[in-house]
Amino acid sequence: MAKKGLLCLSLTESTIRRNIELAEKYRGKIDIAELRADFLKESEYKYIEKFPKEISVPAILTLRNRNGGGLFTGSDNERRFILMAGLKAPYSYIDLEHDNYDTELEKAAKASSVTVIRSVHDYSGVPESVSGLINNLARNPGEIPKAAFFPKTTQELLRLMSAYGSLENKPAILLGMGDYGIPTRLLAGKLGSFLSYTSEKKDSAAPGHISIEDMTGLYRYREINKDTAVYGVVGNPVMHSSSPIIHNQGFKELGLNAVYIPFLADDIGEFMKLSRLLDIKGLSVTIPHKETVIPFLSGVDNIISSVGACNTVFLKNGGYYGTNTDAEGFLAPLKQIFHGVVPKGLRATIIGAGGAARSAVYSLKRNNIDVLILNRTEGRAEKLGAEFGCEWGSIMPNDTEQSIKKMSEYNDIIVQATRVGMAPDISGDPLPGYEFSGNEIVYDMVYKPRETVFLRRAFKAGCRIVHGIDMLIEQAKFQFKIFTSRDFPFSDFSL
């Protein structure tokens, strides 16, 4: 049976000494170390034989040229000279590009019992015939084929993922580059790739490399095998999401053979095919797919009919079902403030009329709280208000005076549900003209940064404040329960 899912640390420092130090620093976390000799200073080539002698794991020697995405710009003769020197040292593998045949190097590798990794790197996308390509890549018996493609769409990622099933039962490395390719790097042990690469820092050796700390800590890569249950968050963008931190810590604490990973997706329909292929057990759905995912589900619950957005997908009776935990997640921090039950008769203002505002309006109205909706685009506030029976207004400069006056009737709770103040533009305040009395509960749904300008202003005035990150954690806890049928194992989890 071919080994699968080994972890290889790619080393891209400019000196041999520093690369040795790093390989030794991480030796307990990796199976193999790759010396990317194309990142070395020229004056270091003469020490190339030291690397495999002074590290404790098997070594790969790689001198990647520009075509393959590397830095080496020397001639074929120079390349041969450097690699020949390496083949005199105890490297276990040498990476030779598929379009740079060199019979002398192949002979020398064979004589030294160094296994050739025959590689192709295609930055242009994913070809139609991935399986034909990888299964015919080796030039000589015993070579390990390696193909790395750069998927630019969900459809391309699906094509790449579909090829794993056809890998022959021999070692082969098949990986996707870039953010779309991240699931292939994380799931190598499940998909059947011989190894996956990591770097000390994210992306330092190739686009899509995950840092070794995240790979082995956050994602527990080395525990992933063919039986690992896959969960994840699907969105665009998605790489900033904190959800993997929450769910993976829960899985780890409960000792579950499960992993939660980010899936960048431009097409939710194609992604749901990928989800089937990978047998994904549960998904958090984020912008911009919360509405567009609904037609691809076998069913949805009543909350979705009211909120109109799905943030949670899970397997039920063999089909994918949708629900929404944002509304419950929104309410949970308010319940904590009121020791379990939000009192009837309170009045609230919600600033914003997008998806987040909709969950908040739904939750508050269900708890008999009257709501005023204020939004930049007044028509959206009006539409949402009409749907839920709320008053509405605008926060455009000409209207703020009137809106702020109206707020005095709805100021027990103020919810900030616009994108204003969200990173990277953290200086924004959606309603700078509103002066807090200090009696309001002020809730900002923005969670990056944790403390927005709006919240800081409210806190300074003496208000009780609620951070958006608390809602994020609470909605994730509800998802965790839906995904695993287990309670999230930390009572005071924070990010």
Which span (94-102, 251-259, 265-273, 413-421) binds ligand NAP, by CB under 6 A? 413-421
Work out which of 232, 322, 430, 449 binds ligand NAP, going by CB under 6 A.
Answer: 430
Q: 148 or 415: whose CB is closer to ligand NAP?
A: 415
Q: Among 64, 190, 289, 380, which residue sits at the site for ligand NAP (rule: CB under 6 A)? A: 380
Least gap, CB of 84 to ligand NAP (angstroms): 55
Of 223 and 451, which CB lies nearer to ligand NAP in the complex structure?
A: 451
The Cα 230–Cα 484 span in angstroms is 11
Query: How far apart (Å, rounded) are the C-alpha atoms in residues 289 and 14?
Result: 43
Amino acid type, 174: L
Catalytic residue among 146, 290, 316, 477: 290
CB of 158 or CB of 414, closer to ligand NAP: 414
Q: Which position's Cβ is nearest ligand NAP? A: 354
Binding mask 441-480 for ligand NAP (x = CB under 6 A): ----xxx--------------------x--xx--x-----
Distances (CA, A) of 425 to 375, 448, 450: 19, 10, 13
For residues 94 and 404, which CB has a smaller minimum distance to ligand NAP in the complex? 404
Nearest distance, CB of residue 71 and ligand NAP, angstroms: 38
**Cβ of residue 272: shortest distance to ligand NAP, in angstroms?**
21
Give whichever of 30 and 445 is closer to ligand NAP, judged by the CB atom.
Answer: 445
> Minimum CB separation from ligand NAP for residue 276, in Å?
27
Among 95, 156, 326, 440, binds ligand NAP (CB under 6 A): 326
Minimum Å distance from CB 472 to ligand NAP? Answer: 4
**Window 349 to 378, contacts with ligand NAP (CB under 6 A):** 352-357, 375-377
Please, what is the minimum distance in Å from the beta carbon of residue 78 to ligand NAP?
Answer: 52
Half-sphere exposure of 212 (CA within 13 A, CB side): 21
Q: Which is nearer to ligand NAP, 154 or 475 (CB)?
A: 475
Binds ligand NAP (CB under 6 A): choice among 417, 431, 453, 455? 417
**Nearest Cα residue to 482 out of 315, 235, 307:** 315
Measured CA to CA in angstroms, residue 491 lies from 4, 112, 336, 459, 473 at distances of 37, 57, 13, 25, 11
Q: Would you say 315 or 422 has its CB closer to ligand NAP?
A: 422
# binding residues, ligand NAP (CB under 6 A): 26
Binding flag, residue 422, ligand NAP (CB under 6 A): yes
- Residue 34 interacts with ligand NAP (CB under 6 A): yes or no: no
- Does position 146 interact with ligand NAP (CB under 6 A)? The reply is no
Q: Which residue number, 342 or 445, has a Cβ lying nearer to ligand NAP? A: 445
Smallest distance from the beta carbon of 397 to ligand NAP, in angstroms?
11
Least distance to ligand NAP from the beta carbon of 290, Å?
A: 7
Active site (annotated) includes residue 290: yes
Residues that bind ligand NAP (CB under 6 A): 287, 326, 329, 352-357, 375-377, 380, 417-420, 422, 430, 445-447, 468, 471-472, 475
Residues that are catalytic: 290
